[in-house]
């Protein structure tokens, strides 16, 4: 890759951002398609987001990903926001078209494509169990609801947040059944999980340094799938439990890949080189894991 006077600039805003895998994924895609583009990481401290967003227009940066802690704050700084991003209440991808900034949330489509590619699963008509009620859970619930899941059970450590999320989405999607539970309510969890087709961990449980989730996976019906949004470590305690029970399972690395694929396609209007992006992610992740 040679950076020239004509090179289009893309990147990511976050804080901290130095561990982001996105530059590897997007730069490998630009090289593969021979595009005169480069993707860099910008460490934007809280309080500096407004300046950074004005900078996108001034410097003609063509597209930007947004990560923690700016995904919600950026909503008020954009010219237009896509429907899914509005429902989630967060933006992770911005395109700059002639100085007009439009925000998207590609975690929604990224999650849906991950479970379709990994398990051949579509939410349509299914009962789905979601652990967590933070930003990632909101993106997943929007994906499930807009793709006509029959029932969504939201389980969270702080019960009131699960209740609020379930109530909010009941109002938006009255035909879908939403339930909310506390992660401590093991009896209700056992009942609800026993006829669930997909369990999704959207909480930080199981991340390095966090407690693992202890769900009664043995009660799941045959053929059920487990998707863990956490991908650090590569094999989370939940994925290990699922593998021990020979259930279909995968970690969130595929969601990370497909949210990047969607962002790339929004920015360039071209079909993303998925295999190349996957290879870049896998190699970088492997190197991080052995470090």
Residues of this chain that bind ligand NAP (CB under 6 A): 107, 132-137, 156-158, 161, 183, 202-205, 207, 210-211, 229-231, 252, 255-256, 259
Nearest approach, Cβ of residue 269 and ligand NAP (Å): 23
How far apart are the C-alpha atoms of 19 and 288, rounded to whole Å? Answer: 9
Q: In the complex with ligand NAP, which residue's Cβ is closer, 80 or 210?
A: 210
In the bound state with ligand NAP, the residue whose beta carbon lies nearer, of 158 and 186, is: 158
> Is the N-terminal amide bond of 69 cis, ω within 30° of 0?
yes
Residue 96 or 105 having the CB closest to ligand NAP: 105
Select which of 4, 48, 71, 161 is catalytic. 71
Report in angstroms the alpha-carbon separations of 45 from 53, 64, 118, 191, 256.
Answer: 12, 16, 36, 44, 23
User: How many whole angstroms separate alpha carbon 216 and alpha carbon 218?
Assistant: 5
Q: Nearest distance from residue 50's CB to ligand NAP, in Å?
A: 22
Cβ proximity to ligand NAP: between 175 and 208 the closer is 208
- Characterize the bridge pairing of strands 63-66 and 80-81: unpaired
Report d(CA 128, CA 152) in Å as an integer.
5
Q: Please indicate whether residue 45 is annotated as part of the active site.
A: no
Backbone angles phi, psi at 43, to 5 degrees: -85, 105
* Whether the Cβ atoms of residue 100 and residue 79 lie closer than 8 Å to each other: yes
Parallel, antiparallel or unpaired: strands 198-201 and 225-228? parallel
> Measured between alpha carbons, how far is 233 from 229 in angstroms, rounded to an integer?
11
Tell me the closest approach of the beta carbon of residue 134 to ligand NAP, in angstroms: 2
Closest CA to 267 of 30, 55, 43, 90: 30
d(Cα 106, Cα 104) in Å, to the nearest integer? Answer: 6
- Cβ at position 139, least distance to ligand NAP in Å: 7
Q: Please say which residue, 35 or 265, places its beta carbon nearer to ligand NAP.
A: 265
Closest approach of Cβ 170 to ligand NAP, in Å?
Answer: 18
By annotation, the residues acting in catalysis are 71
């Amino acid at each position: 890759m040679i950076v020239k006077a004509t090179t289009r600039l893309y990147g990511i805003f976050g804080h901290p951002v130095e561990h982001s895998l996105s530059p590897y994924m997007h730069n490998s895609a630009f090289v593969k398609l021979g595009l005169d583009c480069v993707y860099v990481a910008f460490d934007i401290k809280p309080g500096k987001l407004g300046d950074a967003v004005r900078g996108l227009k001034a410097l003609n940066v063509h597209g930007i990903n947004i990560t923690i802690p700016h995904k919600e704050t950026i909503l008020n700084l954009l010219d237009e926001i896509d429907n899914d991003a509005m429902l989630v209440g967060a933006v992770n991808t911005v395109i700059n078209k002639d100085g007009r900034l439009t925000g998207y949330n590609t975690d929604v489509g990224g999650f849906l494509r991950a479970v379709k590619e990994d398990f051949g699963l579509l939410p349509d008509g299914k009962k789905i169990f979601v652990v967590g009620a933070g930003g990632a859970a909101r993106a997943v619930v929007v994906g499930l609801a807009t793709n006509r899941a029959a029932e969504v059970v939201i389980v969270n450590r702080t019960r009131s947040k699960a209740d609020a999320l379930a109530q909010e989405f009941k109002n938006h999607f009255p035909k879908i059944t939403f339930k909310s539970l506390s992660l401590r309510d093991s009896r209700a969890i056992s009942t609800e999980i026993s006829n669930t087709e997909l369990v999704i961990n959207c909480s930080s449980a199981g991340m390095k340094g966090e407690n693992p989730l202890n769900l009664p996976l043995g009660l799941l019906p045959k053929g059920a799938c487990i998707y863990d949004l956490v991908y650090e470590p590569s094999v989370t305690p939940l994925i290990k439990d699922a593998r021990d029970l020979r259930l279909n399972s995968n970690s969130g690395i595929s969601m990370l890949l497909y949210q990047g694929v969607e962002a790339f396609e929004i920015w360039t209007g071209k079909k993303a080189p998925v295999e190349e992006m996957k290879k870049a992610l896998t190699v970088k992740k492997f190197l991080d894991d052995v470090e």
